[in-house]
């Protein structure tokens, strides 16, 4: 009984507090019950309304006419009427426009009308606010879509710019590389000449790596970068990187304590050897860049469970907790406290992370804060060592084949629309004993090839009239396998043409590695 009374009390309270006016009247209009909301809207107390006034008493003259001519007949026929506007009069005489909903029910044989009313001003206010909110929401959504589109376009333009910049850098870099290699091969150079050449060589390597990174960044953004996995022994990769790093640091004005620790047993993993070396090299470059002269840099390789772990640590400028959250973001830079001289472009670590992820690995960074150094850890899936002997035999066989490659003079046609690039490469090849002709466009190259009858043609793919690939197809159709066709490209870091349509014997990315290019020419079979 007590629970029933409490339920009735709760219902009455909810009825009184309802946000709309609620009242019940007989079919004749006498008010039997009204909630507090309805009473307050009209300025009556419940006792003044209930049992003393009818619905008709509360209406204006126009409302009374509408009730008698429309609402009552409809209610009699339909048993309910919704969304009808009626003007009611407050106790003080003020007119209150109401939206009326009424339903006729039968309770114990008695016909009753149950009303739910809403002040029209409030309703219109709510409707206007709803329309305004919807309008603001639509405008915000359109603004968001416009901003997202602009951001995508900006990102695409940025990626296109980076790719174009990397491409445009490669042609002058290629000419400089050939010139430096040509000068370096001269005998009897004085110390005053050797040092500038070595300095230029180091700076050119740095510029080339920058162009490579820029190009890789654009390819990653477009989802086009690929890796060529093979079984590699991590120690061999590390040794190559260390040799390159130490050679580069030997000519640097700063000096560091560089500690390298490798496992006694070989560790194998499935990886792209070029990209793996790029990962380690970029981490070491980062460590040397942000570690003052005299600081310590360490490279540690270990086996931890099913993973090969590569750790690069330094005693350099360190990284704040805030910067650790953005360190792998493209173009992010860590404040060095030394101006921007060591800032870089902020693409190295972002590129490393992308390459590690392509190897199904993980890259993490740690630092105790500014001035306390930093540590970068790469974890890559390890392979069993049971293929060590076969991999080593394959590597040694390839090395022996390379060492035993015969050296032979060739007739070489160099085709490049950059006169400096063509001339410098031609001089370098001539210094190696080859007979060389040059051409600056596709049509010219076909005429020279027909008269010169070269053993090999080195073609820049981006020629102004006929692209290098089409030139190669025409030469191949005339000469067959009698001629070696080598492509020089400033666009593709990895070229995987369709074997059925590929006219080239080899691809080199500008600036080409001269030793590898010479080896390729030496290995041409007649």
How does pLDDT run across 452-473, given as a tens digit for each residue?
A: 999 999 998 888 888 889 999 9
Cα gap 483→204, rounded to integer Å: 32
> Which fold is adopted by the domain 228-386?
Heat Shock Protein 90 (3.30.565)
Full DSSP string of 376-404: EEEEEEEE-GGGHHHHHHHHHHHHHHHHT
Q: How is the chain split into domains, by residue range?
A: 2-107, 228-386, 404-522
Three-state SS string across 316-370, please? CCCCCHHHHCCCCCCCCCCCCCECECCCCCCCHHHHHHHHHHHCCCEEEEECCCC
Q: Give the pairing of strands 296-304 and 257-261.
A: parallel
pLDDT tens per residue, range 41-88: 999 999 999 999 999 999 999 999 999 999 999 999 999 999 999 999
Which region among 113-127, 243-257, 421-435 has the lowest average model confidence (pLDDT)?
243-257
pLDDT tens per residue, range 330-341: 666 665 544 334
pLDDT of residue 385: 54
| Residues 361/304, Cβ–Cβ less than 8 Å | no
- pTM attached to this predicted model: 0.50
Q: Which phi and psi angles does 497 have, rounded to 5°?
A: -70, 165
Q: What does pLDDT average to over the chain?
A: 83
Same fold across 2-107 and 404-522: no
Residues 6+ positions from 420 with CB-CB distance below 8 Å: 172, 175
| CA count, 13 A, side-chain hemisphere, 55 | 30
Range among 146-150, 235-239, 323-327 rated most confident: 235-239
In CATH terms, 2-107 corresponds, of 3.40.50.300, 3.30.450.20, 3.30.1370.100, 3.90.75.20, to: 3.30.450.20
- What class, spelled out in words, does domain 404-522 have in CATH? alpha beta
The Cα angle at residue 153 between residues 151 and 156, in degrees rounded to 5: 110
Q: Which phi and psi angles does 16 have, rounded to 5°?
A: -70, -35
Cα gap 204→251, rounded to integer Å: 13
């Amino acid at each position: 009984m007590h629970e029933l009374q409490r339920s009735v009390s709760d219902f009455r309270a909810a009825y009184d507090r309802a946000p709309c006016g609620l009242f019940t009247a007989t079919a004749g209009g006498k008010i039997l019950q009204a909630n507090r909301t309805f009473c307050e809207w009209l300025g009556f107390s419940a006792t003044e309304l209930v049992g003393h006034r009818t619905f008709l008493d509360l209406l204006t003259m126009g409302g009374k006419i509408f009730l008698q001519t429309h609402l009552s007949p409809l209610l009699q026929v339909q048993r309910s009427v919704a969304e009808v506007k009626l003007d009611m009069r407050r106790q003080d005489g003020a007119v209150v426009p109401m939206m009326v909903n009424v339903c006729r029910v039968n309770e114990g044989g008695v016909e009753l009308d149950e009303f739910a009313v809403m002040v029209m001003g409030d309703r219109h206010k709510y409707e206007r606010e709803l329309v305004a909110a919807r309008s603001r929401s639509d405008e915000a959504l359109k603004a968001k879509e416009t901003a997202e589109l602009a951001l995508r376009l900006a990102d695409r333009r940025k990626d296109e710019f980076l790719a174009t910049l990397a491409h445009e850098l490669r042609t002058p870099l290629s000419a400089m590389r050939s010139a430096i290699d040509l000068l370096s091969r001269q005998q009897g150079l004085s110390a005053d000449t050797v040092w500038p050449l070595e300095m230029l060589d180091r700076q050119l390597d740095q510029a080339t790596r920058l162009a490579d990174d820029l190009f890789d960044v654009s390819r990653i953004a477009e989802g086009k970068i690929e890796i060529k996995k093979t079984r590699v022994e991590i120690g061999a990769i590390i040794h190559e990187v260390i040799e390159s790093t130490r050679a580069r640091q030997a000519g640097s004005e700063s000096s560091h304590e560089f500690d390298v620790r490798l496992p006694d047993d070989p560790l194998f993993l499935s990886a792209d050897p070029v990209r793996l070396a790029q990962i380690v090299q970029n981490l070491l470059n980062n460590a040397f860049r942000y570690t003052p002269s005299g600081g310590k840099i360490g490279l540690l390789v270990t086996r931890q469970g099913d993973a090969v772990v590569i750790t690069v640590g330094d005693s350099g400028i360190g990284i704040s907790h805030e910067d650790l959250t953005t360190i792998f973001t493209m173009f992010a830079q860590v404040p060095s406290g030394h101006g921007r001289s060591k800032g870089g472009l902020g693409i190295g670590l972002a590129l490393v992370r992308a390459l590690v992820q392509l190897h199904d690995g993980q890259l993490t960074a740690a630092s105790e804060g500014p001035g306390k150094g930093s540590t970068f850890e790469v974890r890559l899936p390890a392979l069993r060592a049971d293929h060590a002997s076969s991999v080593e035999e394959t590597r040694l066989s390839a090395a022996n084949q390379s060492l035993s490659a015969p050296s032979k003079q060739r007739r070489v046609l160099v085709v490049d629309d950059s006169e400096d690039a063509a001339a410098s490469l031609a001089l370098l090849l001539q210094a190696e004993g080859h007979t060389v002709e040059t051409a600056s466009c596709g049509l010219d190259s076909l005429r020279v090839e027909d008269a010169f009858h070269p053993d090999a043609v080195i073609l820049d793919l981006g020629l102004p009239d006929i692209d290098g690939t089409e030139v190669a197809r025409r030469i191949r159709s005339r000469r067959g396998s009698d001629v070696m066709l080598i492509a020089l490209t400033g666009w593709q870091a990895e070229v995987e043409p369709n074997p059925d349509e590929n006219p080239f014997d080899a691809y080199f990315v500008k600036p080409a590695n001269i030793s590898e290019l010479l080896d390729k020419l030496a290995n041409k079979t007649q």
